[in-house]
Amino acid sequence: QSNVTIGGIVDINLAHGSGSIANKSFVGSSGIGASQLRFTGVEDLGGQLRAGFWLDSMLQPDSGAGTPTNTNNQASGGAAALAGSQGLTFNRRSTLSLGGPLGELRLGRDYTPSYWNLPVYDPFGNLGVGSTHTLNGAITGATGVRASNAIAYYYGHAFNAFATGQSLQGLNVGAMAYAGENASNAADAGSGNGASVRVGWTAPAWSVAAATGRTRNVAGDLRQTNLGGAYDFGVVRVMGHLVRDRNGAVTAKGYLLGLTAAVGIHQWRASVSAYETDAPGRPKATKLAVGYVHNLSKRTAVYATGAVIDNEGGAAFGLNQAVTAPNARSRGFDLGVRHSF
């Protein structure tokens, strides 16, 4: 039907992680593209007004399972189903938009503006074994990536698009408020309520953006603040971001520096990222990642990514589900195929 566009990605890989305690070999997914099935559409209402919807489901195509969403922006709203029984939810994005010359009003579940600098300024787009450790190690809780029950306003990006990550030239703004939806007489009445804002500027060859967000939490608020930028030299694009997060009394800081290089159908990617908290011992991990993408077409690519992570101060991050001892190293790689439809 002409009112609906169906699209998606299937990305499946052979993955391996090695750590000092246990290794893991598996068939994984979403190495360079987030496996998804989505239903979207835009209606022209006349007078420069538009309506749009976006229903987007994260897939696990290695097993056919779906993935859970989070209903209340708190840990209690995102339970895992028993293995094998998790069905499809529109957890990646589920929104209804009204737009005009002054911007877009968007209701539902979506990325928080304070998340966007992490994938936009990561050569690996927060996907696969090379994903920035400023995300993988983050202490930002249930709303560190997406929020449900949100009202958002966007300016300076394409209508019903991938929000502030798909910005137009010039100024772009994203602002969101979201609700935890607890009863007013509950002890944690305000938990899960939050707000997030991002302001950026996009030029032909470069872009920068700063963002911050806060989610109320009965055990201590969750804060996420970051700054990112990229410069496109032509063949090579360099990028980086700085983050400063807080979960109650614990504060964390991190950075990423990375680049992508594209020649014809070949793309190379590399990054170094680190994240450190002020919890006892000051646990810190530093990750180095390199990757290659071979585009068979605009829609289909084969890829290889490798990464190594070094732990300090008691940190024990393993890559690709490997288990590693505190302060030990872990390695991992992905070897896969991505197909968009």
Site for a copy of itself in 150-209 (CB under 8 A): 150-151, 178-179, 181, 183-186
DSSP 47-104: TTEEEEEEEEEE-BTTTTB-----SSSSGGG-PPPPTT-------SEEEEEEEETTEE
* Residues 6 to 35 in contact with a copy of itself, rule: CB under 8 A: 6-8, 10-14, 21-27
Binding residues for a copy of itself, rule CB under 8 A, total: 92
Name the DSSP letter for residue 157: B
Q: How far apart are CA 69 and CA 71, in angstroms?
A: 6
Query: What residues form DSSP beta bridges with 37?
Result: 8, 57
- Choose between 79 and 263: whose C-beta lies nearer to a copy of itself: 79
- Choose between 70 and 117: whose C-beta lies nearer to a copy of itself: 70
Among 31, 34, 61, 167, binds a copy of itself (CB under 8 A): 61
Decide if residue 321 touches a copy of itself (CB under 8 A). yes
* Residues 106 to 145 in contact with a copy of itself, rule: CB under 8 A: 107-109
Which of the stretches 90-98, 168-176, 250-258, 304-312 binds a copy of itself when contact is defined by CB under 8 A? 90-98
* Residues 232 to 251 in contact with a copy of itself, rule: CB under 8 A: none
Copy the structure tokens of residue 126. 């927060």
Q: For residue 341, how far is the Cα from the chain centroid? A: 21
Decide if residue 71 touches a copy of itself (CB under 8 A). yes
- Choose between 53 and 115: whose C-beta lies nearer to a copy of itself: 53
- Choose between 153 and 201: whose C-beta lies nearer to a copy of itself: 153
Name the DSSP letter for residue 167: B
Smallest separation, CB 20 to a copy of itself (Å): 11
Smallest separation, CB 160 to a copy of itself (Å): 11
Q: How far apart are CA 37 and CA 222, in angstroms?
A: 30
Q: How far apart are CA 79 and CA 74, in angstroms?
A: 10
Where would I find the beta strands (DSSP E) of the chain? 5-18, 24-29, 36-46, 49-58, 93-100, 103-111, 146-155, 170-178, 194-202, 206-215, 222-232, 236-247, 250-263, 266-277, 284-295, 300-312, 330-340
Decide if residue 297 touches a copy of itself (CB under 8 A). yes
Smallest separation, CB 236 to a copy of itself (Å): 27
- Choose between 121 and 303: whose C-beta lies nearer to a copy of itself: 303
